[in-house]
Amino acid sequence: MKQRLAIITEIIAPYRIPLFNALAEIPEIDLHVIFLGETDPNLREWRVYREEIRFSFEVLPSWRRRIGKYNALLNARMGAALTHARPVAILCGGYSYVSSWQALLWARKHRVAFLLWSESNRQDQRRYLPAVEWLKKQFLHRCDGFVVPGQSAFKYVNAQKIRNQPIFVAPNAVDNRLFSNAAEFARNNADRLRQELNLPQHYFLFVGRLVREKGVYELLSAYTSLNPDLRRQFGLVFVGDGPCRRQLQELAHNFSGRAAGIVFGGFVQREQLGAYYGLAEVLVLPTHTDTWGMAVNEAMACGLPLIVSEAAGCASDLVQEDGNGVLVKPRDVSGLASAMSRMGCDAHVRRRLGQNSARRILDYSPDAWANSVAHAIQEATRHS
């Protein structure tokens, strides 16, 4: 017998659609997704791939404002949407929106199992805000269980929860085949794509928002401190946009005499990302704080070795020292430069680590995520 599951999540993110499609294909699950908004133009310019959606969904009416670094979002009709969906379980992606609390109260009133889908971890800088922590504790106390993407989030939730609620791990995933195929296509058409995209022959790659907390200034400093011979062989490519882009470009321009291979690709939609990954030598994610770091999944699917900050939520799950990459401390420019230098100087190591990345990411698939969520729902409804 199918179990009606309602997932509440913020926007129609491209990397979530394959996960929800996989979950909708599980015979025991009758999935309905409630989006709090279609997209968030203040943060991302993602295209909405509605034509790929193969699950039941709706987008609630919303009012959104950016207040400083915080995102205010109000929705109408959450109660009506849940009443119409009649779920036996709710998986809610987050606690900070009013709609999340409305869904929690609806679940308590109707005796429906309520699980929090949480990516918070110990490295998350938001944990230092007392008001946020108090709000989170109140929410966590009222949940029936939790779904987390990996070890860092598991440890954080396990330390925060008040009752003996179960924690289920559903590994964060992207459409691995889509990215690996796109990377292979790029490598087969390397000369043309390098010319079209103005890419160096070899380069370190950063993919993400150009904001200070992603470690982009440390990355630029580390790159420009590399041996001149290595910089002549390796460029640095930033893919993404954000408030720091103009200043980074100005700094790069000042370094142009020593590091001419710095390229800013701007924001790139999903179907174009494969070219940047496929032609890169190494992905670098030197973030100060990150709930996960989906670019690491994407890069691994494309067979890239990794240099990743220990602060990334995915680091303890996806990055194996000398297996498929190197872990560095956040804000450590010299340590980052050393890792880049070692990786850049040894093509054999890059090839071996990249092959290991491609093998390891096979365990982090949409099907793996969907099966884990289905198990969590079955367990939660059995004990609710």
> Mind listing the pLDDT tens digit for each residue in 28-48?
999 999 999 998 876 677 889
The string of pLDDT tens digits covering residues 45-74 is: 788 999 999 999 999 998 987 666 667 788
Same-fold call for 3-173+365-383 versus 176-363: yes
CA-angle at 366, arms to 365 and 367, nearest 5°:
90
The pLDDT value given to residue 274: 94
Mean pLDDT of 4-24: 97
CA 271 → CA 14, 54, 175, 182, 268, distances in Å?
A: 10, 19, 12, 8, 8
Task: Give residue 375's region: left, alpha or beta (phi > 0; psi -120 to 50).
Answer: alpha
The string of pLDDT tens digits covering residues 74-84 is: 889 999 999 99
The pLDDT value given to residue 69: 61
- pTM for this model (two decimals): 0.94
The string of pLDDT tens digits covering residues 129-165 is: 677 778 888 899 999 999 999 999 999 999 887 788 9
The kind and range of the H/E element at 298 are: helix 294-301
CA-angle at 233, arms to 228 and 238, nearest 5°:
95
Domain boundaries, the chain: 3-173+365-383, 176-363
88 touches 112 (CB < 8 A): yes
- Which comes out higher in pLDDT, residue 123 or 183? 183
- What does the block give as tokens for 277? 């990954």
Q: May I ask the CATH class of domain 176-363?
A: alpha beta
The pLDDT value given to residue 272: 93
The string of pLDDT tens digits covering residues 208-254 is: 999 999 999 999 999 999 999 999 999 999 999 999 999 999 999 88
Q: Distance between CA atoms of 91 and 291, rounded to whole angstroms?
A: 18
The pLDDT value given to residue 5: 98
In 3D, which of 205, 171, 165, 210 has the Cα closest to residue 313?
Answer: 171
Query: Which strands form 235-239's sheet, in the order they lie side by side?
Result: 262-266, 235-239, 203-207, 282-285, 306-309, 325-328
CATH architecture of structural domain 3-173+365-383: 3-Layer(aba) Sandwich (3.40)
The pLDDT value given to residue 346: 96
In 3D, which of 207, 219, 188, 180 has the Cα closest to residue 357?
Answer: 180
